[in-house]
């Protein structure tokens, strides 16, 4: 497997003329363009005199490559472009000398030179540059290589405003990176986005960026390439917040610690405002396109020059001729094709059925120009009109109950109702079973899930398959010839309908066509007789829509046979007798799940006539024996169940019908905040005894009715965070054998709903969440002790992977498990001591993970929700990822089975085995002053992730680590797989402003590994570099930035804690904790209040931890 080396920070080049600029300049030209003027090789004046090159340690010493210290800048010609040059900047690393030009940076201050406002990207900005990686350069011994974009997300080309920075870097395949293709990398906060391209060619980029209209934290980025006028790349991103500079700028930079690299840049330019490429009149139409069709630039995108109903802007995007009404000459105007018929205005025969679109639309009755087979009977419209003379808009021309293709294939007359095909019998070969939607039921020899067809000889005699054919087209009865093989009595043969066309009788057979799962499709076995006519031996004509991993075929012991669906397919053997005639269509609710204030009625229906609705209101699963049944009026009508909803309710419903497969269970929760505020022990269902002082279900009236609005919850508080609603059998949670009583390792089935994902205070039901079935179990280690905590954490597992951007599209969107974390420590429901309850913030666990992520590390994401169990409010919960094998595969690539995952200690294996971890640990215990020993272990640990992980835990003063409370994952299949440590359960943090965790050296855990590695000079330098980056100049761990990161967690629940106060504030003491207690603790951390061991945490902690590093000689005592 290839990997990629990134040149993002190792070698740079700039152009000396504008000969390489292919895109025309925007109207009135660029605000600034660097066009590659010859440089003045002095330390004080570089490039055109406006580029600063001495930014603290990020500097160029004024020399050319190869002269003096490694690396430098020089001017080089561009091949094939006379008089055009490029500036070449090399960061060459030959030794660990005092000046190896690491992080070589050139910066142009847009604020100083162009008067660009700090927020210039908000209203729109346009950039352009031309760049490549050279094949050779001074000190570059082989292909360019380098490092991934570091956590600050700087690239070769960077643009910075007050909102953050966007960076662009180039990479080539190599051994030093996880990327597997050559291409360009764009920063997306601490992540990177990749676009494949050849970085050794000159590539020109036109970039536009503007704040997203719906989310002020995001920006819409579009990139055009190499004279293109349609974006090659468009995505909504978040800008990097980390920077050493605070002004608006554009920069070019490289940085390396181990390898030499090179980049060439022909020009770089900037203009305030959003401008499309090749568009001097700024009208959304490329100049070249306008000049091609109109000879001037007088037209704009709203004009309709040819009067065909399509504005020029639409003509450009569809590729039609704006000067001709009917581009493809099919008799329909371009406007009618786009707006009315939905056909393709550049193709006269959109469906390729041999009939021109205009002919189909204008015939009486019209056929569908988008479907080759309008009536879905297996015959094309052309064949019906010209060959069979049947009606192409009527699947059963003679209305005898058999579609036209079935009749034609069976030999009956499709235009005569008295001529009908015979039913399948047991006197010849049968297509006894087939599957047209195979996901993983049966794999072929290529390990692919191809469709398949089963033939069965039900007779007592051998039958030769010579002169037999399989076809999916009634007009082509001899489509695929079977080989000359003998099918013995009661013998089966399975043929894959894969399109691979394999006919060797000694091997697996494959047809040259694939099956359609659409309703009205066709499949037949035919035989050529002595007259060279084709007779239908067995057919499934006009077969119904097919379903995933469900087969269809014949069953019965006597002729004529029945046909139906098989949920348990049996390829190669007798069919299951328990077939069904079809599948009941899913239930629908007229009003979906959500949060409501007024009573309403919702109606449950299904489109399947003759079906019965069954629903429950107690969380249990509806079945034939459980629930309220609503029958249809008769067998030809659809059922309808109307339910009045007046308070918090959960409806679970199915639809059933005799001889049909029932629907899945649909679950809808309806939350009424005003009703929830009245929740008491008497309003919940019967339950067993639990909790340290008995069951706690009540919303405390003292808080709900409190005189102070600072304390009393309001109904809008329920909308400030999303809602998770679990629906299940109440007894399986709180009954005698319920999981809340039994503790960990017991799973029970549940429905999981996610409501109000947009946190919309005005319309919480405007944005749809999700509903998925799965299981729930109690988790939490010591928190499940009897009863150290009454509010136990829960783990959700999904029956099928959840595919939903619960943490935004820049994080994983596919999950097999998530955790509903309620914390044991530093929360109001902790019942072992006052000091922990006083520290309650409901942020302690996620905050270190967010710090780790902000520094470029990989740790679980989480956010707050309000949890309900069968409509009973459970309170604030944090739904977060679990860093196991699935987590690692989602973020690092590969499959779940590729990963080892460890937790807490060397013996606790979550996935895979502990052998690779023990090996890494053993290597780390060698003499790290020996560089070769360090390099061996460094191959197995992602060093940057590890350092960021340690910094996060040292900063928060984690006191319950690392003898436990850590996760680590490792790709054991990948040749360059590395161990990643992930934040887990660091809730004992932020407890003392002066706490020192740097002395922890727990055997087998990350602290031991760190104390082993810190003895190595290179690792110690890497660590010191990270400290300088994150502890200074607006870094992640500076006072201002840590406070911002913390408040991103705390702010959304500032008023939601009023609900938590009412629900759990009095769980551990008689006088309930209130929002005022929460605010005081938050303000003590921020330095706005006093009276605790964690006063002034954020203002002072950075300096305190830095001094701890200095005392241990992990960081130099000189000023940074």
Residues in the chain: 1120
The C-alpha atoms of residue 1109 and residue 1120 are separated, in whole angstroms, by 13
CA 86, 90, 92: angle at the middle one, nearest 5?
A: 165
Residue 379's pLDDT is what?
Answer: 86
Backbone torsions φ then ψ of 899, nearest 5 degrees: -110, 140
Taking the C-alpha atoms of residue 742 and residue 691, their distance in angstroms, rounded to an integer, is 12
- pLDDT, averaged per 10 consecutive residues of the chain (1120 residues), comes to 34 40 82 74 63 65 63 79 79 50 75 90 92 75 41 71 86 57 75 78 92 88 86 85 71 68 86 86 81 87 91 87 93 92 92 92 92 86 89 90 74 80 76 94 93 95 96 93 96 96 96 92 91 88 88 87 90 89 95 97 96 98 97 92 98 96 97 97 93 94 97 98 98 94 89 97 94 95 75 96 94 97 94 91 98 97 98 98 97 96 96 98 98 98 98 97 96 96 96 96 96 98 97 97 98 98 96 98 97 96 98 83
Cβ burial, residue 1087 (10 Å; 0-12/13-18/19+): middle
Question: Half-sphere exposure of 156 toward its Cβ, with a 13 Å CA cutoff?
Answer: 34
User: What's the CA angle centered on 855, arms 209 and 1103, to 5 degrees?
Assistant: 120
Partners of 588 in beta bridges:
605
> What pLDDT shows up at residue 178?
46
Res 274: pLDDT: 87
Other beta carbons within 10 angstroms of residue 409's beta carbon come to: 30
Pair of tokens at residue 440:
């993983």
Vertex 1115: Cα angle to 1113 and 1117 (nearest 5): 85
Which DSSP letter does residue 290 get? H
* Contact by Cβ (8 Å): 1081, 836: no
Rounded CA separation 752/772 (Å): 5
The DSSP output letter for 1095 is: T
The helix or strand, by DSSP H or E, that contains position 78, with its residue range, turns out to be none
Cβ-count burial 815-838 (b if 16+ within 10 Å, e if not): bbbbbbbbbbbbbbbbbeeeebbb
- CA nearest neighbour of 113 among 7, 270, 341: 270
CA 2, CA 298: separation in Å to the nearest integer? 51
* Residue 42 φ then ψ, to 5°: -130, 155
In terms of Cα–Cα distance, which of 662, 652, 649, 645 is closest to 611? 662
Strands (E), 7-156: 11-12, 32-34, 51-52, 54-55, 58-59, 72-77, 85-91, 104-109, 125-132
Strands 649-656 and 534-543: unpaired
Within this chain, domains 430-583 and 588-671 share the same CATH topology: yes
Closest CA relative to residue 84, chosen from 174, 19, 170: 19
- Residue found by looking up tokens 């003392």 in the block: 992
Three-class secondary structure of residue 769 per DSSP: coil
Helices and strands in the chain: count of H runs, count of E runs: 23, 51
What is the model's pLDDT at position 402?
80
- Strand locations in 904-993 (E): 905-911, 966-971, 979-983
User: Checking DSSP bridges between strand 862-869 and strand 723-727, what pairing results, if any?
Assistant: parallel
Question: Right CATH number for 430-583 from 1.10.357, 3.30.310, 2.40.128, 2.60.40?
Answer: 2.60.40
Is residue 134 a contact partner of residue 13, using CB atoms and an 8 Å limit? yes
Strand partners, 265: 87, 131
In Å, how far from its chain's centre is CA 336?
Answer: 37
Contact between residue 396 and residue 531 where contact means Cβ atoms under 8 Å apart: no
CA atoms within 13 A on the CB side of 571: 20
CATH architecture of 588-671: Sandwich (2.60)
Domain boundaries, the chain: 4-115+130-203+239-267, 287-362, 430-583, 588-671, 673-833+862-879, 889-1053+1087-1111
């Amino acid at each position: 497997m290839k990997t990629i080396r990134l040149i993002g920070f190792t070698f740079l080049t700039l152009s000396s003329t504008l000969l390489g600029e292919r895109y025309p300049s925007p109207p009135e030209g660029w605000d600034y363009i660097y066009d590659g003027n010859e440089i003045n090789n002095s330390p004080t004046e570089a490039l055109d005199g406006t580029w600063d090159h001495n930014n603290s340690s990020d500097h160029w010493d004024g020399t050319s490559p190869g002269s003096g210290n490694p690396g430098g800048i020089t001017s080089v010609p561009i091949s094939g472009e006379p008089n055009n040059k490029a500036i070449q900047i090399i960061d060459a690393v030959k030794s660990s000398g005092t000046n190896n030009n690491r992080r070589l940076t050139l910066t142009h201050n847009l604020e100083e030179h162009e008067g660009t406002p700090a927020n210039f990207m908000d209203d729109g900005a346009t950039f352009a540059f031309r760049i490549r990686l050279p094949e050779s350069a001074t000190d570059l011994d082989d292909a360019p290589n380098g490092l991934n974009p570091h956590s600050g997300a700087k690239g070769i080309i960077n643009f910075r405003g007050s909102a953050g920075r966007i960076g662009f870097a180039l990479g080539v395949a190599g051994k030093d990176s996880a990327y597997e293709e050559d291409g360009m990398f764009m920063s997306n906060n601490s992540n990177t986005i990749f676009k494949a391209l050849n970085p050794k060619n000159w590539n020109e980029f036109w970039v536009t960026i503007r704040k997203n209209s719906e989310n002020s934290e995001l920006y819409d980025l579009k990139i055009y390439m190499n004279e293109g006028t349609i974006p090659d790349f468009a995505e909504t991103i978040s800008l990097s917040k980390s920077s050493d500079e605070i002004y608006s700028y554009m920069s070019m930079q490289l940085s390396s610690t181990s390898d030499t690299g090179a980049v060439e840049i022909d020009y770089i330019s900037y203009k305030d405002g959003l401008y499309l490429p090749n568009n001097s009149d700024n009208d959304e139409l490329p100049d070249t396109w306008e000049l091609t069709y109109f000879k001037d630039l007088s037209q704009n995108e709203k004009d309709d020059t040819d009067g065909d109903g399509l504005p020029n802007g639409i003509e450009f995007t569809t590729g039609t001729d704006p000067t001709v009404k009917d581009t493809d000459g099919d008799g329909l105007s371009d406007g009618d094709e786009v707006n009315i018929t939905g056909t393709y205005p550049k193709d006269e025969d959109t469906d390729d059925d041999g009939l021109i679109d205009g002919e189909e639309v204008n015939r009486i009755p019209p056929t569908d120009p988008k479907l080759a087979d309008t009536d879905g009977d297996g015959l094309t419209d052309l064949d019906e009109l010209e060959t069979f003379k049947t009606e192409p808009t009527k699947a059963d021309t003679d209305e005898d109950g058999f579609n036209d293709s079935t009749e034609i294939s069976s030999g009956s007359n499709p235009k005569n109702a008295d001529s009908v095909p015979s039913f399948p019998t047991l006197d010849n070969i049968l297509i006894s079973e087939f599957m047209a939607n195979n996901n993983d039921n049966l794999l072929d020899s290529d390990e692919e899930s191809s469709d398949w067809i089963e033939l069965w000889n039900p007779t007592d005699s051998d039958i030769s398959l010579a002169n037999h054919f399989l076809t999916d087209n009634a007009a082509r009865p001899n489509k695929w010839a079977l080989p000359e093989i003998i099918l013995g009595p009661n013998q089966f043969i399975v043929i894959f309908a894969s399109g691979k066309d394999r006919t060797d009788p000694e091997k697996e057979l494959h047809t040259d066509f694939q099956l359609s799962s659409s309703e009205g499709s066709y499949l037949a076995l035919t035989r050529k007789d002595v007259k060279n006519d084709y007779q239908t031996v067995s057919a499934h004509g006009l077969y119904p829509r097919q379903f995933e991993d469900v087969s269809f075929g014949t069953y019965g012991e006597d002729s004529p046979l029945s046909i139906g669906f098989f949920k348990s397919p049996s390829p190669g053997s007798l069919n299951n007798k328990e077939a069904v005639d079809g599948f009941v269509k899913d239930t629908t609710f007229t009003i979906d799940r959500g949060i409501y204030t007024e009573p309403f009625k919702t109606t449950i229906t299904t489109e399947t006539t003759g079906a019965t609705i069954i629903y429950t209101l107690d969380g249990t699963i509806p079945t034939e024996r459980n629930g309220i049944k609503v029958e249809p009026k008769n067998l030809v009508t659809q059922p309808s169940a109307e339910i009045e909803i007046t308070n918090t309710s959960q409806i679970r419903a199915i639809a059933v019908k005799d001889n049909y497969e029932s629907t899945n269970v649909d679950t809808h929760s309806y939350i009424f905040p005003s009703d929830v505020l009245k929740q008491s022990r008497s309003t919940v269902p019967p339950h067993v005894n639990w909790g340290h002082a008995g069951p706690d279900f009540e919303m405390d009236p003292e808080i709900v009715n409190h005189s102070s609005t600072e304390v009393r919850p309001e109904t809008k508080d329920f909308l400030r965070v999303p809602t998770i609603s679990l629906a299940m059998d109440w007894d399986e949670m709180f009954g005698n054998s319920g999981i809340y009583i039994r503790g960990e390792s017991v799973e029970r089935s549940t429905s999981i709903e996610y409501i109000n994902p947009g946190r919309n205070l005005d319309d919480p039901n405007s944005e749809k969440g999700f509903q998925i079935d799965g299981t729930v179990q109690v988790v939490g280690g010591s928190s499940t002790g009897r009863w150290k905590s009454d509010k136990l954490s829960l783990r959700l597992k999904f029956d099928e992977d959840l595919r939903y951007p619960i943490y935004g599209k820049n994080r994983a969107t596919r999950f097999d498990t998530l955790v509903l974390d309620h914390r044991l420590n530093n929360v109001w429901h902790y019942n072992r001591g006052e000091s922990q309850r006083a520290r309650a913030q409901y942020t302690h666990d996620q905050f270190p993970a967010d710090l780790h992520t902000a520094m470029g590390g990989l740790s679980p994401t989480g956010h707050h929700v309000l949890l309900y169990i069968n409509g009973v409010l459970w309170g604030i919960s944090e739904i977060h990822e679990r860093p196991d094998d699935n987590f690692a595969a989602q973020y690092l690539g590969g499959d779940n089975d590729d990963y080892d995952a460890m937790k807490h200690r060397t013996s606790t294996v979550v996935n895979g085995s502990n052998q690779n971890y023990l090996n890494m640990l053993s290597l780390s215990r060698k003499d790290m002053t020996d560089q070769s020993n360090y390099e061996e272990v460094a191959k197995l640990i992602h060093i940057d992730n590890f350092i960021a992980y340690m910094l996060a835990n040292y900063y928060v003063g984690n006191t319950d680590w690392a003898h436990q409370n850590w996760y680590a994952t490792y790709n054991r299949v990948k040749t360059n797989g590395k161990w990643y440590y992930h934040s887990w359960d660091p809730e004992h943090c932020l407890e003392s402003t002066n706490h020192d965790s740097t002395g922890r050296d727990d055997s087998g855990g990350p602290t031991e590994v760190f104390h082993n590695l810190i003895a190595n000079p290179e690792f110690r330098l890497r660590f010191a570099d990270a400290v300088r980056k994150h502890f200074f100049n607006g870094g992640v761990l500076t006072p201002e930035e840590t406070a911002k990161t913390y408040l991103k967690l705390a702010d959304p629940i500032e008023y939601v804690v009023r609900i938590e106060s009412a629900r759990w504030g009095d769980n551990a003491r008689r006088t309930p904790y209130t929002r005022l207690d929460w605010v005081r603790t938050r303000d003590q951390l921020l330095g706005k209040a006093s009276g605790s061991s964690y006063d002034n945490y954020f203002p002072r902690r950075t300096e305190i931890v830095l001094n701890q590093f200095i005392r241990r000689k992990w960081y130099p005592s000189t000023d940074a």
